[in-house]
């Protein structure tokens, strides 16, 4: 009986129909959507974003999210807000988005961009639906201008590997792969891994002998078993040779200005590599993996 009453209450709160008017009450159910909504829409139009948006370890908009109500992706939280637009990820909060659609709410789903151009397109897509097309174009223009200001790439691209907790990497068909190419770095994982979110064994990294190791983890994250690989002695030569780049995942996990900052840091690291200098793992002592 309680379930029936709850459903009736939800139906009563649902909008009569979704429209294309400029939304006045926006709810985000996805961290990447949080960033775009908070950067593109006026604060008074944002009814709620995810609780993740307030965590500076994973969010680039923690300051903007501080004064906005948050949610944990539950339909019971969203419906009372009476949003006229809900933005969700294509692979997250599936039960919630299905329920909201059945209740008549407009749900806009964001996929995962596979290149810089797709990231720019996603910014424009969200900005257009928010009724802020000019702000979207301005954001894209700023990112492109920052990319254009990077130092020119050398003819021979140094190799790099992105290493995330549990040995995950950034392979082909990913925005990080596109950023690496943009700054003149050859992503070894695009050859070694099978997809954009593949894993690399420590042995594969050592054998591949990359010139640069991009450690894609939050420096202030609590200790965990997932991070053990990032601190393995076999990778110590990178730190000793200043060939390690700490790069928080938040900078290039989503479409937004963080992409330009990630590119700037990578370009600066690439500039530190002397032309023709061997990888830190060339000539590494035997038994390093033991």
**C-alpha span between 48 and 68 (Å, rounded):** 6
CATH assignment, 2-111: 3.40.50.1980
Q: Where are the domains of the chain?
A: 2-111, 154-272
**C-alpha span between 103 and 97 (Å, rounded):** 10
Residue tagged 């450690």 (tokens): 215
Task: Give the model confidence (pLDDT) of 233-265 as tens digits.
Answer: 888 888 777 788 989 999 999 999 999 999 999
Task: Give the model confidence (pLDDT) of 218-233 as tens digits.
Answer: 666 666 655 677 778 8
Closest by CA to 262, choosing from 177, 165, 138, 203, is: 177
pLDDT given at position 151 = 93
**C-alpha span between 206 and 152 (Å, rounded):** 28
Instruction: Sort residue 173 into left (φ over 0), alpha (ψ -120 to 50) or beta.
Output: left
Contacts of 141 (CB under 8 A, 6+ apart): none
Contacts of 225 (CB under 8 A, 6+ apart): none
Strand ranges for 226-275 from DSSP E: 244-246
Instruction: Sort residue 98 into left (φ over 0), alpha (ψ -120 to 50) or beta.
Output: alpha
**C-alpha span between 90 and 81 (Å, rounded):** 22
Asked if the 154-272 domain carries CATH number 3.10.290.20, the reply is no
The arrangement of strands across the sheet holding 85-89 comes to 70-71, 46-50, 26-28, 85-89, 107-110
Topology match between the domains 2-111 and 154-272: yes
**C-alpha span between 59 and 43 (Å, rounded):** 17
Average pLDDT per block of 10 residues along the chain, 290 residues long: 44 49 96 98 97 95 96 97 97 94 97 96 98 98 97 90 86 93 93 69 86 81 66 81 88 96 96 76 48
Report DSSP state, residue 172.
S
């Amino acid at each position: 009986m309680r379930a029936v009453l709850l459903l009736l209450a939800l139906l009563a709160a649902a909008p009569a129909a979704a429209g294309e008017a400029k939304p006045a009450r926006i709810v985000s159910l996805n961290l990447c959507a949080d960033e775009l909504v908070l950067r593109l829409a006026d604060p008074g139009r944002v009814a709620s974003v995810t609780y993740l948006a307030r965590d500076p370890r994973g969010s680039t908009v923690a300051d903007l999210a501080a004064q906005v109500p948050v949610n944990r992706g539950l339909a019971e939280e969203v419906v009372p807000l009476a949003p006229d637009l809900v933005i969700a990820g294509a692979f997250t909060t599936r039960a919630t988005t299905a329920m909201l659609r059945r209740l008549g709410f407009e749900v806009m789903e964001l996929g995962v961009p596979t290149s810089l151009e797709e990231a720019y397109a996603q910014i424009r897509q969200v900005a257009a639906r928010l009724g802020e097309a000019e702000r979207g174009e301005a954001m894209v223009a700023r990112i492109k201008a920052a990319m254009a200001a990077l130092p020119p790439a050398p003819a021979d691209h140094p190799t790099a590997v992105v290493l995330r907790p549990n040995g995950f990497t950034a392979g082909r068909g990913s925005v990080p792969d596109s950023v690496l190419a943009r700054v003149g770095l050859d992503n070894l994982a695009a050859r070694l891994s099978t997809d954009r979110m593949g894993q690399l064994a420590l042995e594969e990294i050592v054998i591949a002998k990359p010139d640069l190791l991009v450690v894609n983890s939050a420096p202030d994250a609590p200790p965990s078993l997932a991070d053990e690989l990032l601190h393995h002695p076999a990778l110590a030569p990178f730190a000793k040779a200043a060939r390690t780049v700490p790069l928080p995942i938040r900078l290039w996990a989503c479409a937004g200005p963080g992409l330009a900052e990630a590119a700037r840091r990578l370009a600066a690291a690439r500039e530190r590599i002397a032309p023709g200098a061997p990888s830190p793992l060339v000539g590494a002592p035997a038994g390093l993996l033991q």
